Structure 1
Amino acid sequence: MGRFQPFHWGHFEYLTEAGRHSARLTVGITNPSAERTRHTGTDPKRSSDEANPFTYEQRSAMISTSLARLTPHLRPRIVPCDLRSPTTLRSSLGPCDLVALTVYDAWGREKQALAEAAGYDVLVLWQRTEKLVTGTEVRRRWRNSLPWDHMVPSGTAETIRSLTG
C-alpha cells in the first residue's frame, strides 16, 4: 500500500519485490479520496492537497500501465485503501495472505502497526533511512518544469503528460 503520488521507480522496486512473496498481488492506493485520507502527526504533509495532486484513477493507471509493460507477470489487483482505522483498512483492502510494506520513518512504523491491528500478517521488505526516489521530488520537478520523467516508469510519465497536454 502507498499513495503513489506519483508512481515512481522506488515504488516499482517495492511492488516487484512484494510480487516475489505472493502469487497474487493486491496494490492498495492510500488517500484514495479526500474523505478517505488518514491525517497523522507522524507525517502531516502527506494528507495535504499539494502532496496529493493525482486522483485514485490516475494513480491506478500509472501503476497498471507501468507494471503491464515492465512486469506483465504480476497482474495486480488495484484497490482504494482506506487507512483511517484498522476496520476501514480491512474492509477496503480485503483478504490478503500477507501485507508487504517498507519502513523509512515513523509513518512507515505507524502503517505497519495499523496493518497488524487490522489482523494482517505483515512483511517488512526493508527498513531504510534513504529513499531511491521521492514523490515529493518528482512533484517539485514536475511543477517547476524541471526534468522528472527519468524518475518514473514510462506508464507514469505518459499518464502525467496526458493530464498536462
Structure 2
Amino acid sequence: MRRAFYIGRFQPFHLGHYSLIKDIARDADEVVIGIGSAQKSHEPKNPFTAGERVMMIKHALEDAGIKHYAIPLEDLQRNAVWVSHIISMTPPFDVVYSNNPLVVRLFQESGILVEQPPMYQREGYSGSEIRKRMLRGEDWKSLVPAAVIDVIDEIDGVNRLKSVSKSDKDYRD
C-alpha cells in the first residue's frame, strides 16, 4: 500500500488543493493530509479552526471517494525536529507532496521521498485571494468545492472573517 502525505493550512480548502489531492490519489492508495497551523483560528489569515478545516476536507473528498486522513498539526517552531514531529502525529507515509521549499528541504534531509507536483492556477486558487474576496463581497464560491461552501455557510465563516479582520480603530468615533 502506498500512502502519501500533503500538508497545508487550508484557510480555506479550495479547488487547487482538491485538484492536487485528486492527482495524488491516482498515485497513492491513501492520502494523509496534514492540517498545518492547527492551533490558529479566528485571525484574518487563519479564520477557520482545525475542526472546521477537517470538515471542509472530509466533505469535499468523500464525494470523490478519496481515502484520506485529515490530521490537525500544530506548528512546531523548531525546524530541525519538525519532520519527526509530523511522523509522530500521522499514519506512516511513503512520499511527501509539496512545493514549499522548506517542507521539501526538511523531508529530503530526513531521507523521505518528495514529489513536487504542478500548482493549479495558483493566482486564483489561493487562500489569500479567497479571503480577500470574502472580505470585499466578491465571488469566492467558484474557487472552492461545493462542500466547503456548505461548511463556511454553516459556521458563518464569512462574517467571522469580516469580524476578525476589523481593528479597534473600526470602533472609534
What TM bracket, shorter-length normalisation? 0.7 to 0.9
Q: TM-score, normalised by structure 1?
A: 0.78
Cα distance in structure 2, aligned partners of 1:150 and 1:98 = 31
Cα distance in structure 1, aligned partners of 2:42 and 2:150 = 24
5+ unaligned residues in a row in structure 1: which ranges?
35-46
**Which moved further from structure 2: 138-147 or 75-84?**
75-84
Q: Among 141, 148, 153, which residue is 2:140 paired with?
A: 148
Larger radius of gyration: 2
Q: TM-score, normalised by structure 2?
A: 0.75
Tell me if 1:21 matches 2:27.
yes
Q: Which residue of 1 aligns with 2:89?
A: 92
Q: Which residue of 1 aligns with 2:54?
A: 60
Q: Which residue of 2 aligns with 1:111?
A: 103
Percent identity, aligned pairs only?
A: 26
Tell me if 1:77 matches 2:69.
yes
Cα distance in structure 1, aligned partners of 2:144 and 2:120 = 20
How many angstroms does 1:146 deviate by? Answer: 1.9
Query: Cα 1:83–1:111, aligned 2, differ >3 Å: closer, same or farther?
Result: farther
**Equivalent residues of 1:9, 1:132 under 8 A apart:** no
How many angstroms does 1:83 deviate by? Answer: 5.2
1:114-153 deviation per Cα after TM superposition (whole angstroms, max 9, x unaligned): 2223442211113689445111011111122222111100
Q: Letter of the aligned partner of 1:6 in structure 2? A: P
Residue correspondences, number: 146
Q: Which residue of 1 aligns with 2:155?
A: 163
